Every structure is written in C-alpha cells, then in structure tokens.
Structure 1
Amino acid sequence: MNRFLFLLFLLSLSAKSQTELNYPKIVYGKENISASWVSHPDIKGGKDTAVLFRNTFNIDDLKADFIINISADNHYFLYVNGLFITHGPQLSDIQHYKFETLNLKDFLKQGKNVIAVKVINFGKRRFLGMQSIFTSVMINGVTENAKIINTTGFNDTWVSTIDESYKANEVIWRGDKEKAIVGGFYANNPTDIVDMNQYPTHWETLDFDDSEWKKVEFFENASSMGGSIAYLLEPRNLPLLSWDEERIASIVRSSKPLETEFPVLGTLTLAPHTKATFLLDQQYVTNGFPELQFSKGKLATITIKYAENLFGANNEKGDRNEIENKKLLGYYDEIISNGEASQKFIPNWMRTFRFIEFEIETKDQELVLEKFINHRSRTTIPSIAKFKSDDEMYNDIFEICKRTIDICTQDYFLSDAYYETMQYVGDTKIQGLVWEALSGNAEHTKNAIRQFDQSRDSEGNILGAYPLRSTFIYPTYSLVWVDMIADRYNTSGNKDFIHAYKDGIINTLAGFEKNMNDLNLVNKTPYRYFVDWYTGLNNGSGTATKNDGLNSAVVSLHYVHALQNASHLFDEIADEQTSLKYKNRAQEIITSVYKLCYDSDRNLFAERPDKTIYDQHTNIMAILTDAIPQNEQRALLDKILNEKDLLQATYYYRFYLFEAIKKVGAPELFDVAQKPWEQMINNHMTTTLERFESVEKPTRSEVHPWSASPAYFYFNYLAGIRSVQNDFEEVEIAPVFGKLNEIVGLLPTSKGNIEFELKRTKNKLSAEITIPTTIKGNLIWQGTAIPLKKGKNTYTIKSRK
C-alpha cells in the first residue's frame, strides 16, 4: 500500500469551465487587436499597487459568442458578473508578451452585465521572471459584439480605482532584518498585506456602485510600430491553469484549546482580546491560491504563514511528519478585518505549502473564521502516467517525483514552487523529459526551448533562466539548451524542429568556443559555470572548487556533449560540413581532457589537470562523451559509485549518472545510484529536495523538479519504453528491470497510451502490453525482438541462456 495515498477533495469551482481558444492552435491572432493599453490616471510608475477595473454593458443576444483578448502588466484576475474566470497572462517577456483569448458567452446574461479585472503590480521586489513596463491592462473584443468593451482610454466605458487596501509584503531573505525564510535566495513575488477596512467589498459584482471611480487613461497602443510601442503581443500557447477546490486538512497544533476541527468541520470563533496560534498539516505539499472567508473581528489581525516543512531548534528538518518542538518559518500574508460579514481573502500570487500557521489577534469584537480552502493551480494538461512495481520504495519515489513535477508545471516550468519559481535551462532539461513521460505532451518543453532561444545575448549566451528581468548567465546552461533540442529531436524525429533552431545552435556554440584556452580546456569567464551543488569546504557555488572553473574537465566535456549532439543534429539535416566541424572539435577536446586529466594510477579522470580534485561528475561525463574507450566504461562506472572520496553528484546531476548507467548497460547499478531518494521517503517527504544536506549548504527547496529524474528512467530505462520514430509512432519496449521483477504502468504518448505489465523470472519475460492502433514496434528481451500487436496482447520470451 502506497504510504502517500492522500485524499484530495477536488471540486469544480463552477459548472462552467473556461478554455484558452488559441490552444492548441492559434485561431485568433494579434491582427484582431484594436484596443489599447490603459491604466488608472493616478498611476505614476512601477510601485506595488492593485488597480480595479470595471465595465458595465448590455447584452441582447445570448446565443452569440463573446470572444475577447486580455493581457495585463504584471498580473490580472478576471471576473464576469462576480464569477472568477481566470488569471494571467502566461509568463513571457516584453518582446513576446502573451494575451489570453476567451469566450465569455456562457457567463453573460440578458441585459446588464459587468466585466471586472484586478491588476496587480508587485513592485520593485516582484518575481525575477516577471518583466514589466507599467501597471496596465488591455482588453480587446474579437467578435463584433465584444468590441463594446475595448479598452482605449478615449471615451471608452471602463472605470477604475486604486485598491488602497493592498500593499506588497517583501519577503526578507538578506540584510540585517529578521529573515522571513530559511535557505537564502528568494526570487518569487512578495506576499500580501491587506487592510479590509479600505477594501471595496463586492467590487466585482454587478450591483456595486462605481459612480465615484475614475475613467481609465490611455497608456499605449497595442498594435502599432511593428507590434506595439510597449508590448509586442502574441497569443498564449499553453492551456489555462486549473482553479480546482482542494480541501485543507484540520488543525494539528494550537496555542489554546479549540472547540472545532476548523477548517474541515464548521466555523471557528475567537473571542475578543484573544491571541491564538494554530497549525494545519496538509500531509502533502500542494500549491494554489488559499481562500479564507471570515466575519466580524473589527481590526483583528490575521497572519497566515506558509511552508513546505517545519524546522527544529537548529533549522534542521528531519522527519517531515514529526511536528513536536518544531516551528514554521516561511513567508506570510497579513489581513486586517473590517468587522463586516462574509469577508474574503485570496492571495495575489500562488502559495506553496504543506504546513499553514495562523497567528490571530482580536480586538473588541469576536472573529469568526468560516471557511478555508485551496484553489489548486496546475496546467490543465492531464498528468496520467502510472507506475507500480514489486518494490514499495520505487513506488513511493515515483509518487513524490510525480507530485513535484505536477506542482511545478504551470504555464511554464517552475524550477521550484516556493523560493524562485523560475524556468532554468538545466532544471528544465530534466523536468521536460519527466513531464513528457507523465503527460505524453511536449508543448511545455517546446515553449521552454523557444523562450530560452529568445533570451540569447550578443555573445551567444543563453540566459540561465528565462523569462527573466535580471541577467543570470551560466555558460554550461547554454550548452544544455543544445542538448534539449537533441532530446526533443531524438523523440520526435522532426527535422523542421532542427531547422528552426540551427542558427541559434551555431551562435550558441560559437559563443562558448570563446571560453576555450590553448589547452583545449575552459577558461574563467565573467560568469559562473554551474555543474552541481557540490558539498565540501572548497565548493565553488556550482563548480567543484573556488577557481571559477578554470581548466575544468567536466565543463569542457559538457561542451563536448553539446558539440556531439549538434553534430548529430546537423548530420540529420544533411549539413555535413557543420556536422564534421563539431565532431572534429569535440574529438580535439576529448584528446586534451584525456591527456591532461586522466589519472592512470587511479584509472579516473581528475576535475582539472593539477589532479587535486576528483569528482563523480567529470567521470560521468567522460562516459557520456566517450572520452574513455567503451570497453573501459563499465569499470569506470563502478569506480564512480564505489570510490568514497569522489565529490558526489547530488540529485540534479544524478540524472546524468542514470544516463551513464543506461549507456553502459548496467541496470543492477541503478538502485545504488538511487539511494539518496530513499532518505526522502524515510523522512516522509511528499515532494523532492533541491540538494543534499550539508553544514554549509542546508537543504532549501522541497519541491524541486530537477530531482524527479527517477520517474523518467522508470519508464525510459527500467521498463525500457522508448520512441524509435516520429514521437512514438514506432516504439521499442526493452525492459531491464534493475533490482525489480515486476513493473506495471501506463505511459501516455502523443500517439496514445501504452499500458504494460512486465514480469521476469530466471529464464523468461512475461508481458501483457496494450498499444493503440497508431503505434507499432518491438518487444525486446536479451537479444530477442518480437513485433508488438495492436491492442491488448500477452507475450512470453524465454532467455537464450
């Protein structure tokens, strides 16, 4: 029985759901846009603020589509007649600013209607992935009947007000002030401070009196000067996010006795002049927009803290199920009650949590907490893969990997769900592969590859994360972008995909070539090479030592890896000259790395020519690039896993260790490489960690997709299900099992679902496999291949031994 089977109460918010009309294909492009960007006339700059917009209009024909485009800077929430519709826009940059396209017909009624939009500017400490020009909104009618709600700023019918109740609450992680979080770098949005005494309650409903609101003011055109003077618009290319109602678990700890199991059973009343603290344990990490409904409690302060885990006396984590003598340290929202009935608070940005703590102080009036739920946020592309084996540890690892990927697949790939929420290249290479295995859908991966391509600077550097309003450059991640294109092509076989990025590949590799020195090893750069979170006193914050990567063998071999992938890609499109150029250059570097860094006494590669540092990473990459002869790779792999003084590959880099095991064909070593995940399960984690625990680098993020790679290899390697041609039009199923003897699962693909039950005994493979009519291929076992039949069939292959 899986230890992480938790009951989710997921209810539809409304019988009516909304979809993005331009997904999966563009139907309503930017050529339909005639509206302009508008704002409130008193908005002057990029200060943190919330602006509320309303437009009241009449509808006679309820049968006609009412299609609009909508976008905003920084973020919007859309309501029609008081009903929440969606939020956006999809994350992108100014040159490719996204708009949503929606049909509001089903939310309208005969006669008078209101469309209401809240636009949030998170201010100077906004999320590092969020580019911004000015607090503004653009709403455009696509169908003729919807043009009456176009934002123009010139005699249109939109009115607005500044929501004086809102203030951005900066999450303190550096400086002299008390820290709000444990773990350092925070790049997510500020949280909220809301004074309900200044909040225009029911502003989004039809009957609200907006007569004192101001007419909106024109900011900029949305369709001129080659796109716009401000934002260059393009349609959203991924589906809308979910807004599912998820039940939040009951109180597990309280500073004083409580008479109810809030929020599960009924309301919770706190008397006047009361201070109370209580802790909720969701039992698993989740994310979304928690909603608190409450009444009375004039001037009461409600602080809601959110965290992935609890901390002990020395900020240790330990068993996540143990709460005794542990405290919650995390970001928080603060609300001041206005004393009225049916007040509602929903944060302006997603929260991630397993634990939630309320700190409440009432004044002269009792406070009644009536309801607390979560609106869960994920992509609406279904994640339906299933995996079960005869080893419960593997089953549990799969569950925490899957939950991590599901949480972090929004309208882009999140590097983690709590601290940063950015789309990093190195992280996304792994997350994209796992997500494709879980969903059978590659649209998020293709979106990420395209956005990274758009980030390239004049030197050929792909930004380390993108979209981005900062400048993170990790030259190794530029190389990983090339690897991502190779991954996608190897699955899809789509040569047009190579042609779309071939110029970018050339530019990126030419840029990296400038980093090479006369030894055919890498030089220092103004930027930081990132390989892994090394541990040890001399770690270089991403490199093995503090020498800025000078002469690093592993970084040089990452360049080789990208060159080899590029050579293959250009060979596939018959550009033999470029293919040969990259192949030869890769071999030159391999020769130098072997000559300068291979230690023939230890039969290991050192991390650099002075042979003072030895790590798993360099030797893993030596296998993957054939920097060592193939007949010596198995012996090197054994050394990688058994030499205790090697700097260890952490969760991130073990993706490449798993790849090396697969390349060498040593499935019996997979379980050894996976051992660090067992500690997560033993600590009752429900999602995957960012890095190994150490004194100088304590674990931080608990929802980190780069650590979810086992789930990918369970399908791709242990079950052996791989695309051979045209994105699973042809497959091979070549199970290797590792320590497992039985594997049962479902793998979604773009051509349909593959269901499988695989079982091995000493001398045979027994398999029950269901494939759609759109898929063909072979079942392979110990050198014997037999064709797969359409539909559900049973197969038996005896060993030749």
Structure 2
Amino acid sequence: MRYILLVSLFLSFLEIHAQSELNFPDIQYGIEQIKANWVSHPDIQGGEDRVILFRNVFTVHNSDQDFIINISADNHYFLYVNGSFVTHGPQLGDMQHWKFESLNLKGLLKNGKNIIAVKVVNYGKKRFLGFQSLYTALMVNGVTENAKMLTTKGPDDGWKCVLDNSYKASEVHWRSPGENRIIGGFYANNPTDYITMKHHPKGWEQPEFDDSAWQKNSFYESTGSMGGSIAYLLEPRNLPLLTWEQEGVGTIVRSQNIGATSFPTSGNLRIPANIKASFLIDKKVVTSGFPELSFSGGKGASIKIRYAENLFGPKKEKGDRNQIEGKELIGYFDHVLSDGSPGQQFLPTWMRTFRFIQLDIETGPSELVLDRLQNYRSRTTLASTATFTSDNGTYNEIFAICKRTVDLCTQDYFLSDAYYETMQYIGDTKVHALIWQALSGSLAHTENALRQFHHSRDAEGNLLGAYPLRSTFIFPTYSLIWVDMVADHYALTGDTTIIEKYKAGIAHTLNGFEKNMKSNHLVDRTRYRYFVDWYQNPDNGGGTATKNGGENSAVVSLHYAHALMNAANLFEAAGDTHQAAQFADRANEIKGAVYELCYDSDRKLFAERPDKSVYDQHTNIMAILTDAIAPSEQKSLLNSILQDKSLLQATYYYRFYLFEAIKKVGVPELFDLAQQPWEKMVADHMTTTLERFESTTKPTRSEVHPWSASPAYFYLTYLAGIQSKENNFEEIRIAPVFGILQTIEGSMPTTKGTIHFNLKRSEGRLFAEIVLPENIKGEIIWNGTTETLRPGRHQYELNQ
C-alpha cells in the first residue's frame, strides 16, 4: 500500500508539473487574443550577444483556476515559475511565421505571492544559421483574465529586467586563424558560452530573490499593426513542447590529478587549490540536451566543459569509438569562471550533443567542489516506439543506432545533425521524415517541414535548401525533392488536401527548374549548386560527381524527371489531367534523352554524363526508379552496380534511393550487400549514424546524421513488409521478404494503433503472429498466397 501511495503521489506530481502545448494538435488560443507588446531591456543596442533576465512577482487568489499565457522571444527563452524550470522555446520559425507557445500554468502556482522568471538569450552575430532575428525581446500575453497581469506592455507593466553580464557568446572557430574547435569544417550551430559567475545574479529565478535594483523593461514593438506587424508575424506553435528529462552523463574513464572518485554518478569531487586537473567522461552512447554542472567554492577557478561525439587519434582518425587510449577530445566547449560561492550552477544556453564530456579545470588559491553533473535530455515529446529484433545481431544493432539518431534529431523541427549544424535540410528531411513516421506513427513533424520549406520559396520557384534560415542556401535538386515529399505524404494518406495546398507551389518549382534545362534535355549549370551526394573521388564537385557545375548531369536530370512523374500523379489525383499529362510527357522526354545520350550499351550502364567519362551508382539507381531503363533490364543493372567497385559509390544518404531501387525491383537478396557500410559502423561501436564515408583526405564530420538512418525504415516497411495500403494504415499489407533474415519480430506504431508482428520463415513457409488493432484491416502475402488479417492477436501459416 505504501508503494502504491508513493507511485500515486509521483504520478500526481508529474501530472501537475508536466506542461503541454495547448495549441497542439488543434489551435485553441490563436493570435486574435494577443494584446501584448514586445519588450526588452532599455540598454540593449540590437543584435549583440546578450542575456536579459525578466521577473514578474504577482498574486494569485485562486490557484485552482486555469492560468493560461502565450509566450515567445527572440532569439530563445527559458521559462521558470516559482523557481522551477517549465520549458524553453520558441519553436523555430521565420519573421512571417514567428511561433509562440501557449501554456496553462495551473498546478505551478499557489495562492498568494508567485514569481514568473524568463531568461532571454541572443547568441549574437554568430548565432545558429536557422535563427532569423530582429532584436533581443520578450512577449508574454495573459489569455485568461487572471493571467492578464503578466501581459508585457512596456515600462508600466509589472515586469522588471536586468542584463546578465556574466554571459558572453564564445565563437566556435572552424575556419579562422588559430586553433579550430572542431574537425571537418562548416559549423552552423550556435556559439558556446563564456560565463563569469561573479557577474551572474544568483538565484534570480527564485521567489525570495531581491530585484529592487532591477529596471523596468522598455517597449520594443507591438505584436500587430497595419494588417501585419512591424516586427514579427505571430502564429501558434504547431508541435508539442520538448522534453526535459534528467539523465546521467556517464562515468569517468580517464583523469589527471583528481584521484579516485565516483563522481558524477554519485558523491562530489573535490579539486585542490592551485592545480590543473582534467577528466574524461564516457556516456557510452551519444545523447543531447542541456548538461548542468553544480559546483561550490574555487574562487577564480577556470572550468572548461568540452563536448564531443567521438575521440580522435594522432592523425585525426576515429576508428573504434570505444577505444580511448591515445585519443583526444576535439570539440566545442563552454568556459565557466567560478566566483567562489556555494551552490553555483551552470546550464548551457543551447543544446549540447555528446558521448564524451571532458572537464579541464585550473584552480586558484581555494578548493573547488563539483557537486553534480547531469543532463536534461531535450527532444520532441511525441513517442518513438517502433521496435525491431531479428535473428541477426548486426541488424539489431543497426536498427538501434538508426533509431537513436532519428530520436536525437527530432526536436521541434527535423535536425540535419545534432552537433554541427542543427538545420532542417530538404534532402535530409525527405529521408528523416519517412523514418520518423515509421518509428512514431506521427505526421506532425513532416507536415511542419513541408510547410516551412514552402515558405522559403523565391520568385523563381527555388526553395532554400534548409529552412528556417537566415542565409541563402539553394540546391535546385532539393527543390525537386520537396515535390517528392508532397508525393510521399499523399501516397501514405490519400489526402488530396495536401495537393491542393501545395499545387501552385509544385507548378512554380517545376516551371522554375525547367529554365535550367538545355536543348538536349539535360541540365545546364546554374548560379546555384546541385547536390546529389558526397561523392568521394579526386574530381568531387562538392555534391556532384565532378567539378563541372553539374552540366549535362544525367542523375540531376533524372531527379527532375522523378519530380515530374510525382507531380503528374499528384495533379491527376487532384483532377488536373491536362497539367498531369504535360508533366508526364516532359518526364518521358528527359528519360529518353538520358537513355540516348548516357546509356553505355557495351558496359550496360548509364554514365553520369554524355561524354561517358564518369560512371556512378547514383545515375543508375535513379534510372531504375524513373524507369529510364526497361523494367526487364532493371534487375541486371542493379546487380551490376552493386558488384562494380569502379563506380562512384552511393554513400549513406543516397543509399536510401538504392534501397528504394532494391524494393522496386524486388531483389531482397541484395539488401544485405547494399547495407554493408552500416556494418562497419557497428564494428566501430558507433551508437549513432555517420554523415558520410570516411576518407583518408577528409575525416567524417557529423556522427548524428539522420539521412544515414534509412535501414530502420526499410527493416519495417520492406524486410518485415508492413505498408499502408490505404488512408494512412486504415488498410495495410504485410508482405515480408526477409532478405538474409529468418526471423523478424517487432512493432510499428500508426495513427490507428500499434501493429505487433512476429515473422518466421522455414522451408518455404511463413509463420506469422500478428496483433492488429481493431480499426485496421488488411492482408498478409507470402509467395503469391494472400490471407485476410483479423483484428486482435492471431497466428497465420502460409505455404510457398
């Protein structure tokens, strides 16, 4: 009984304190009731790296009533109520679609005096490339009558603020003179933190803090005027809040000058005065979140907290990720200077990604005590519950690392990677979205990405390669892939409203791309860069096979044909048969030209361009997917490109399309050969998936890259064969192919419920146990034999 009581109290605590986004999945509190202004600190100049702390002390007469607010900030905020962390945001958007959160603070408040505190961070000129920004500003709007006292107006409202002078943005150098903090180039994530604790208002978020010396805030701008806004056009958050889940950071595996210790798993760690100490922590798996360090004493001590996905050897090689001897940590770091007081805390202003954390400490004349180090894991609260187990341990490990990668990188948008860029790219998202849908059963993130990419459109129909974004990255091939993403959505749901929503945009993008075509029906150079894959060859064009700007590229031309084919199907479904026919005819014209100009009848392969100087897997893969070669010849072509090592190889990203080709042609016996690069990841004890193949001239960069996680998708949808047949799993088909596997067991969530499966093949027969939700109907297919599936748990035996 005591145990039951404790569990009940714990669940009650979670129910009271856990927050959810009130406008997800349906909008309840829109922009029409927002009466707040944007406010700032009177001494803020503009886009400099700054932290503003805001407080509002107010009285609640009935804490049982709903207490609903809207909140947003530029660049980012952290919200506390009565000293407890609530959430951080806003969801990433752009100036025309600036997000705000809607929260019910009931359960966090008490009768009488209460305090709401908000930390607003501007990361400065080197902020994350996904951040659009005008000013360091906060907006809080009281929705319910009892919350209107919190509405930000300007100097006459109840808010006070102060500049937190302890904070300075610390640029992560990767191309400037001097020591670089990262390996591999191109860092587009936020700067890290340089914190001088003696300037930090300790306990500022707590109710008992004395804010009498703080200033009144200043009016920045209204939330709406003249049919829009002079500052930000607000709209409700359309995805759930992020998690804030406590987890350990690992154990110490290497140290200098600290002696024996159980820190950080238990106890504290005492660092003597006047020494340099260092220790390396291994989490064993890559994770992300906000690592919090609590410490005391050590006045003037320097603490550098370094984060990395992996360690590097003497020649910057990686190798076995579990091998730490002779390797060093090279990565970004936060730098904290202690003020000597007890109970100091450091929490990064932005998410950190790591498997390894290294603390480098230099103490002054007094002892430093590290009290606690823990991580607050932050990612979408939508559940990723799919499971997969087979008779092959390597496959099981591959599924695990793919799933962990996708889970880490599904935040309030789809991250391209968790460490270096954290941007939402179209080509990456095409793959990421399909995997996430299979792991979670949710389309919410996909629909958000489709809409955000659509917002990035320029006058010529190009979409920005990544969005939201404050820069101009345009890869014309990615604009085409957005069309493919719309087609993926329709293929799954059968919902023509998605076509109507983006029909004009699809036509605009395709008509714009048509201007890139030459009279021979192959692509020309453009002012922008085509991106196909990270090729590995001496003449690598940085996304294309050679440095000719993609001129006459067969694979890029076929990507255009692929998008045209998808558009033809979409417009046909929408009833626009005339435009559908035009798209289909143009696709056939391009495919015919590619075959005529680039097919090598002697080698029975497609060349990457008409001069037949370059051959790659990519062109041949896309030739299969577009039927640029007759279906009767596709199996032979697929076998050839997997055996011919002279071809430029498809890396992890483009093997998604290779797996699609294997599935289309129906040759599961080739699947294992195609996924061999992932076996190397498992052998190297990776816990997430790489961005690209290792190279002797350039080490791989990102180790948490969802575009490389596609095996998890195909394990469920191809090897186990679970596919939606109609209306997003209203009707399904289970047609397992196994590949080299003999048994497959797992579960796949859908909007209609979770499908559980246990599949075994033996001597040409299929033995299956399927648990089917009541509102799903379907069939199971094996070697031409079909049997109707029944709701609930049932066993099936199908003969050859």
**TM bin (shorter chain):** over 0.9
CA distance in 1, matches of 2:224, 2:793: 53
Structure 2 CA distance for partners of 1:14 and 1:203, relative to 1, 3 Å: farther
Please tell me whether the aligned partners of residues 155 and 216 of structure 2 are also in contact (alpha carbons under 8 angstroms): no
Equivalences for residues 320-719 of structure 1 within 5 A: 320-719=321-720
Paired letter, 1:269: R
Paired letter, 1:550: E
Equivalences for residues 738-749 of structure 1 within 5 A: 738-749=739-750
Structure 2 CA distance for partners of 1:150 and 1:403, relative to 1, 3 Å: same
Stretch moving more, 13-22 or 172-181: 13-22
> 1:130 corresponds to which residue?
131
Cα distance per residue 1:681-712 (max 9 Å; x no partner): 00000000000011233211000000000000
CA distance in 1, matches of 2:338, 2:15: 28
CA distance in 2, matches of 1:44, 1:628: 61
Please tell me whether the aligned partners of residues 425 and 467 of structure 2 are also in contact (alpha carbons under 8 angstroms): yes
Please tell me whether the aligned partners of residues 65 and 106 of structure 2 are also in contact (alpha carbons under 8 angstroms): yes
- What displacement does 1:256 show? 2.5
> 1:764 corresponds to which residue?
765
Please tell me whether the aligned partners of residues 120 and 137 of structure 2 are also in contact (alpha carbons under 8 angstroms): yes
> 1:236 corresponds to which residue?
237
CA distance in 1, matches of 2:220, 2:707: 41
Structure 2 CA distance for partners of 1:13 and 1:163, relative to 1, 3 Å: farther
Please tell me whether the aligned partners of residues 130 and 469 of structure 1 are also in contact (alpha carbons under 8 angstroms): yes
CA distance in 2, matches of 1:757, 1:32: 52
- What displacement does 1:261 show? 1.4
- What displacement does 1:14 show? 9.2
Secondary structure of 1:201's counterpart equals: coil
CA distance in 1, matches of 2:248, 2:306: 17
Secondary structure of 2:670's counterpart equals: helix
Paired letter, 2:715: Y
CA distance in 2, matches of 1:119, 1:695: 43
> 2:727 corresponds to which residue?
726
CA distance in 2, matches of 1:13, 1:92: 29
Cα distance per residue 1:646-671 (max 9 Å; x no partner): 00000000000000000000000000
> 1:67 corresponds to which residue?
68
Please tell me whether the aligned partners of residues 134 and 231 of structure 2 are also in contact (alpha carbons under 8 angstroms): yes
Secondary structure of 1:107's counterpart equals: coil
Q: What's the TM-score once normalised by structure 2's chain length?
A: 0.98
CA distance in 2, matches of 1:500, 1:608: 36
Paired letter, 2:105: L
- What displacement does 1:15 show? 6.2
Please tell me whether the aligned partners of residues 77 and 118 of structure 2 are also in contact (alpha carbons under 8 angstroms): yes
Paired letter, 1:429: K
Please tell me whether the aligned partners of residues 634 and 665 of structure 2 are also in contact (alpha carbons under 8 angstroms): yes
Cα distance per residue 1:271-307 (max 9 Å; x no partner): 1101101000000000000000000000100000000
> 1:177 corresponds to which residue?
178
CA distance in 2, matches of 1:14, 1:663: 47
- What displacement does 1:247 show? 1.1
Cα distance per residue 1:342-395 (max 9 Å; x no partner): 100000000000000000000011000000000001100011000000100100
Equivalences for residues 18-57 of structure 1 within 5 A: 18-57=19-58
Paired letter, 2:35: S
Please tell me whether the aligned partners of residues 689 and 707 of structure 1 are also in contact (alpha carbons under 8 angstroms): yes
CA distance in 1, matches of 2:93, 2:14: 27
CA distance in 2, matches of 1:777, 1:628: 33
Do structure 1's residue 139 and structure 2's residue 159 form an aligned pair?
Answer: no
CA distance in 2, matches of 1:521, 1:341: 69
Secondary structure of 1:668's counterpart equals: helix
Secondary structure of 2:698's counterpart equals: coil
- What displacement does 1:175 show? 1.9
- What displacement does 1:154 show? 4.5
CA distance in 1, matches of 2:234, 2:678: 43
CA distance in 2, matches of 1:574, 1:736: 35
Cα distance per residue 1:115-135 (max 9 Å; x no partner): 100000000000000110000
- What displacement does 1:226 show? 2.1
> 2:785 corresponds to which residue?
784
Please tell me whether the aligned partners of residues 257 and 276 of structure 2 are also in contact (alpha carbons under 8 angstroms): no
Stretch moving more, 59-68 or 250-259: 250-259
> 2:287 corresponds to which residue?
286
CA distance in 2, matches of 1:51, 1:287: 25
- What displacement does 1:265 show? 2.0
Stretch moving more, 145-154 or 674-683: 145-154
Secondary structure of 2:53's counterpart equals: strand
Cα distance per residue 1:763-782 (max 9 Å; x no partner): 21110001111100110111
> 2:270 corresponds to which residue?
269
Please tell me whether the aligned partners of residues 166 and 198 of structure 2 are also in contact (alpha carbons under 8 angstroms): yes
CA distance in 1, matches of 2:423, 2:772: 37
- What displacement does 1:579 show? 0.5
Secondary structure of 1:106's counterpart equals: coil
Cα distance per residue 1:206-251 (max 9 Å; x no partner): 1111111111111111122223210000000000000000012121
Please tell me whether the aligned partners of residues 73 and 89 of structure 2 are also in contact (alpha carbons under 8 angstroms): yes
CA distance in 2, matches of 1:13, 1:412: 25
Gaps of 5+ in 1: 1-9
> 2:7 corresponds to which residue?
none
Structure 2 CA distance for partners of 1:371 and 1:13, relative to 1, 3 Å: farther
Gaps of 5+ in 2: 1-9
Please tell me whether the aligned partners of residues 16 and 107 of structure 2 are also in contact (alpha carbons under 8 angstroms): no
Paired letter, 1:792: R
Cα distance per residue 1:440-480 (max 9 Å; x no partner): 00100010000000000001001100000000000000000
Please tell me whether the aligned partners of residues 276 and 360 of structure 1 are also in contact (alpha carbons under 8 angstroms): yes
Stretch moving more, 155-164 or 255-264: 255-264
Secondary structure of 2:451's counterpart equals: helix
Paired letter, 1:582: F
CA distance in 2, matches of 1:305, 1:626: 50
Paired letter, 2:287: T
CA distance in 2, matches of 1:713, 1:21: 35
Paired letter, 1:314: K
Paired letter, 1:774: N
CA distance in 2, matches of 1:651, 1:765: 32
CA distance in 2, matches of 1:542, 1:763: 44
CA distance in 2, matches of 1:434, 1:364: 54
- What displacement does 1:63 show? 1.4
> 2:4 corresponds to which residue?
none
CA distance in 1, matches of 2:747, 2:362: 50
CA distance in 1, matches of 2:301, 2:699: 37
CA distance in 2, matches of 1:784, 1:552: 43
Do structure 1's residue 119 and structure 2's residue 132 form an aligned pair?
Answer: no
CA distance in 1, matches of 2:378, 2:334: 18
What's the RMSD between the two structures over aligned residues? 1.1
CA distance in 2, matches of 1:178, 1:459: 41
Please tell me whether the aligned partners of residues 16 and 108 of structure 2 are also in contact (alpha carbons under 8 angstroms): no
- What displacement does 1:257 show? 4.6
Cα distance per residue 1:50-92 (max 9 Å; x no partner): 0000111111111111100000000000001111000000001
Paired letter, 1:200: P
CA distance in 2, matches of 1:483, 1:554: 15
CA distance in 2, matches of 1:564, 1:586: 6
- What displacement does 1:644 show? 1.3
> 2:3 corresponds to which residue?
none
Please tell me whether the aligned partners of residues 69 and 139 of structure 1 are also in contact (alpha carbons under 8 angstroms): yes
Q: What's the TM-score once normalised by structure 1's chain length?
A: 0.98
